[in-house]
Amino acid sequence: MTMSESTQATVRNDKPVIVIKLGGSMIDRLTEEFYESFHGLLKHYHCLIVHGGGPAITALLGRMDIEGEFHEGLRKTTKETLEVVEMVLGGKVNAQITSALVRQNILPVGLKGCDASLLTASYVNQQDLGFVGQVEEVKTDLLYNCMQAGYLPVVAPLGKTENGQTVNINADLAAAAIAKAMQAEKLLFVTDVPGIISEDEVIKETSPEEIESLISGGCIYGGMIPKVQSAMAALSEHLQEVMIVSGEDALIQGDRMKGTKIRATVKERAE
């Protein structure tokens, strides 16, 4: 997942990039404080959003009497389920987010990762998971050209394999892959919690080593585990910090971002 030399040069000479992963459960819960601080970010950064849609997918599967299955935390995607996933992610949820942004005087452009080879993917484990993919390549020029033109890309995490099959991609993993490919300065996971919490306090800054200790000690559990694991996987020489923030509050307090900052260690920076 690399960028062309021309695009890399443009990135270096222009505003840095922030990738924002917006959970499906947060779409209707973003506050005025969040949007106000988001406008502030847009003055200094190129931003793009990668969104999930799990709750909406589960709800529609239920209404259609299609039983959802999960394997090791990932949704098993059959041919029948894939049709629902495409409808929800590429249609309902993507349109819902772009409409909300328009109401906030932001210019979004909705994109499906399976269009124009934006996200080239391979199967994770076709036997156990069906049509579930992982990102192999990102068409970064398409995303950056949108941002250069003044638009905010809103990406539905669907990919296309080399033989043209659409696959469902975990939104956390898609956001991490796009952030790494775009050489983003920051990756933000917008959640319903103010950050990683230990002993009733938000941890302001941590490292992958400390996170592993918090997981083994039970302080990080449930749905937060895949988020922090995706965050750690995204850390690299180019992406040296990932934030877990709340969508129900302002992103910025004073001169710093709120939430939990996960910083790369020497090991991640070298990879």
Tokens 């809103």, residue located: 154
Q: Residue 248: which residues within 8 A CB-CB, separation 6 or more? A: 29, 30, 31, 34, 192
CA 11 from centroid of its chain's CA atoms:
20
User: What are the strands, taking DSSP E only, across 27-84?
Assistant: 46-51, 69-71, 74-76
Q: Is 75 annotated as a binding residue?
A: yes
User: Coil, helix or strand for 217?
Assistant: coil
Residue 155's closest CA among 20, 15, 1?
20
Q: 265 vs 155, 172, 183, 241, 271, CA distance in Å?
A: 29, 21, 17, 10, 10
Q: Is 40 annotated as a binding residue?
A: no
Q: Is 217 annotated as a binding residue?
A: no
Residue 186's closest CA among 19, 12, 15, 11?
19
**Cβ atoms 130, 70 nearer than 8 A:** no
Cite the annotated binding site by residue number. Answer: 53-54, 75, 168
Cite the annotated binding site for substrate by residue number. Answer: 53-54, 75, 168
